[in-house]
Amino acid sequence: MAKPQSFGGQKITSLPFLDVGLKLGFIDRLVKHLAQTGFDPRYGARPLQRTIESEVVVPLASWLIKEANSPKENVLLDWDQHIIIQWETL
């Protein structure tokens, strides 16, 4: 279940990341970007899944593979012309 929180003055939404033991946080800038980019007046939100996959899932999966040996528990996703991935270990 998504839980709205705050981080450095930014509203974020957190989700547990399946069985990997990660907690994902999404900064509002990323959510707004995905909503704007993934919406088409003709098709509605149907392109949203493709947008999420190409701009979040693929870069996040690549990053997780690259950083596989780094301990991390909280991953924060942000947007500034491209996805920004930050993490912290508790």
Domain ranges of the chain: 3-88
Question: What's the per-residue H, E or C state across 48-76?
Answer: HHHHHHHHHHHHHHHHHHHCCCCCCCEEE
- pTM, two decimals, is 0.71
Q: In the numeric block, which tokens belong to residue 75? A: 């991953």
21: left (phi over 0), alpha (psi -120 to 50) or beta: left
The CATH number of the domain covering residues in 3-88:
1.10.8.60
Alpha carbon distance, N-terminus to C-terminus of the chain: 21
pLDDT, one tens digit per residue, over 6-50 is 555 556 565 555 556 678 888 999 999 999 999 888 988 889 989
